[in-house]
Amino acid sequence: MKLLKEWGPFALFIIVMLLLRVYVWQPVIVEGHSMDPTLADKERLVIIRTASIKRQDIVVAKELNKETNETKNIVKRVIGLPGDTISFDNDVLTVNGKVVKEPYLADYQKAFASDHLQKTYHDNTFFQSLAQNANAFTLSDNGQTTFTIKVPKGEYFLMGDNRLVSQDSRKVGTFPKSDIVGEAKLRIWPLKKIGLLD
């Protein structure tokens, strides 16, 4: 009885934390540069599995590589919800006929207007080449500056913030709700950047 009194609360705490870890939250690591500058390669996040998904949320989704038949987690931003019609016209986003601002793109769009991101991509000649030959910061899969997508019911259109290098719904298609693992809510690494995500 004494043992139960002493260790009971601690054991209960551990059980609750394990249940939350399995059903509510999950740590993830950002891989690659598709979410630069919002999220950098190797940063660590916490996602909430039970969050309701809204436009412009940052989410983790399961992506199937059709060549290897392997699934990996990717971090992207929700641009289109089920049933949305989204259009881009020279970097201006319209959703269901209304212009939607994308403030998270401001730094890279400014750099693109200045020098086609050549200074930003100074350590990656492949990225520099992509940017140098682009006519806008957001292009369709085949390089068009103006394009429209109708998001199917039950599906989500996801894009990376680093639009010129991101492999996202423009290339791999939309994601069903079952493939959305959760919303990224918190950055926990590096320590100097700990905080809630916008």
Instruction: Give me the active site residues, please.
Output: 34, 76
Residue with token string 């086609």: 116
User: 6-29 as b/e, with b when 16 or more CB fall inside 10 Å?
Assistant: eeeeeeeeeeeeeeeeeeebbebe
Whole-number Å distance between alpha carbons of 54 and 81? 7
72 φ, ψ to 5°?
-135, 155
Q: How far from the centroid of its chain's Cα atoms is residue 147's Cα?
A: 21
